[in-house]
Structure 1
């Protein structure tokens, strides 16, 4: 296969997406994955749903063992970080440092590329983990974790695809640039797939918040660096996930 493969969807895209977004031992045809590039992004919501299902499975086991909801939430949060190799958390920290620590586009991109973490990144990671832990504890206690975690996982990854397709690359190097920019139809498929998963698993309540969270991240990235990077995509996933988890808590508490 070569770069002329312009199929909208292929079965191999799922393996490529799993290999890119997780640390799961998924055999990937590297040549095929590189040839497909960003065209495989339609499958990102499936990866998110898979991660959500794995987290829910662990939650079910731990709750069956009568562990407190707070401990269950901490452990499934740790599992999500392990499954993704903290890729999205790293993006959130770098984006926070760069977008708010630099005074122009070039400086912001330079800070985001730096492997060191600054105060903005530390605060962002700390708050993100705290918010997610508190929300996950409430969701675990409610017993509605299966549908909620799968829906949140799918929608938060669809937000990444939306930002990928909606904004140009902010730099000429990096993970996002190497993957490429998906076509609009790829983004539509990703969003449609995530919407179906979310509606089946949890209903319509998360669709609008997911769109608003991804749109917010895209607008901030456009204003600050006139485009997107891998760090921006990771931050988009994290922000969208936080918004959705809090929304779930609000819905199940009302």
Structure 2
């Protein structure tokens, strides 16, 4: 039980801006094992975003404005960690002529045209989807989307080689197959507890397809994974799931 609690604290410290005790060094010793708690922390993040959205709706804030403010609150809570990865992937894959150029662009912290466009598209899709979800489904949908979006990351990390010899993904280490399997199972359980079995199944399948698609694209573009690729995959899956659920529930 102590190991699970330690992993939860490590996952919270990595995935959010909440102040948590952090050991000296670039990565905690249990960081790789803590991947299994990513869906749990994702569910908590989704619950916070959903409650903010519902709270704003309850005091008369229009649905679109409530959704925008709730998504903004979520970005503050997470430090826009995965959004940054999505933007870097778009800039690198869209602007680089070869593998080396793509990796160099992705390392650049400045936001380019492709990155700005993909963030705009992603935010607009999530905004419109969340605004369309009825009140009773807002929190469950966000819990499932955030849990499943983070649940695919260890599996991608196991399957993909590293694209460079340094960077966040390389320094963090690669989880083993058992940890990746536990993570996927926890993510699916969260989805099943939040949604009807059919919606949970479709959402889980879409998350898997999103992860597979991003893994295939990263392999072709840069030969493997980086931290930005994993962050971008989370955003693609989260956005796709919200759009799917909005279409089925609205």
Same fold by TM-score greater than 0.5: yes
Query: Residue in 1 aligned with 2:228?
Result: 231
How much does 1:10 deviate? 3.1
Query: Residue in 2 aligned with 1:124?
Result: 118
Aligned with residue 17 of structure 1, among 11, 16, 27: 11
How much does 1:228 deviate? 0.5
Give the distance between the partners of 1:34 and 1:23, measured in 2 at CA. 16
- Structure 2: 5+ residue stretches without partners: none
Aligned with residue 185 of structure 2, among 192, 215, 222: 192
Give the distance between the partners of 2:26 and 2:184, measured in 1 at CA. 24
Q: Cα RMSD (Å) of the superposition?
A: 1.8
Give the distance between the partners of 1:186 and 1:245, measured in 2 at CA. 26
Give the distance between the partners of 2:31 and 2:165, measured in 1 at CA. 16
Q: What are the Cα deviations for residues 196-218 of structure 1, in whole angstroms up to 9, with x where unaligned? A: 00011013231111111111111
Greater mean alpha carbon deviation, residues 158-167 or residues 70-79: 158-167
Q: Any conservation in 1 of the 2:27–2:172 contact (CA below 8 Å)? A: no
How much does 1:20 deviate? 0.6
1:37 aligns with 2:34: no
Q: What are the Cα deviations for residues 142-191 of structure 1, in whole angstroms up to 9, with x where unaligned? A: 53112111111100001222211211211121111111111111111110
How much does 1:243 deviate? 0.5
Q: Any conservation in 1 of the 2:207–2:241 contact (CA below 8 Å)? A: yes
The TM-score with structure 1 as length reference comes to: 0.91
Query: Residue in 2 aligned with 1:3?
Result: none
Q: What are the Cα deviations for residues 67-99 of structure 1, in whole angstroms up to 9, with x where unaligned? A: 211111011110111011111111111000111
Q: What are the Cα deviations for residues 94-114 of structure 1, in whole angstroms up to 9, with x where unaligned? A: 000111211221111111001
1:207 aligns with 2:204: yes
Give the distance between the partners of 1:16 and 1:162, measured in 2 at CA. 19
Query: Residue in 1 aligned with 2:20?
Result: 26
The alignment partner of 2:4 has SS state of coil
State how many pairs are aligned.
245
Aligned with residue 242 of structure 1, among 232, 235, 239: 239
Query: Residue in 1 aligned with 2:65?
Result: 71
1:218 aligns with 2:215: yes
Q: Any conservation in 2 of the 1:42–1:186 contact (CA below 8 Å)? A: yes
Q: Any conservation in 1 of the 2:27–2:171 contact (CA below 8 Å)? A: no
Q: Any conservation in 1 of the 2:148–2:187 contact (CA below 8 Å)? A: yes
Q: Any conservation in 2 of the 1:142–1:252 contact (CA below 8 Å)? A: no
How much does 1:66 deviate? 2.1
The alignment partner of 2:161 has SS state of coil
How much does 1:29 deviate? 4.4
The alignment partner of 1:144 has SS state of helix
Where in structure 2 are the equivalents of 1:128-139 lying within 5 Å? 128-139=122-133
Q: Any conservation in 2 of the 1:168–1:181 contact (CA below 8 Å)? A: no
Give the distance between the partners of 1:27 and 1:57, measured in 2 at CA. 26
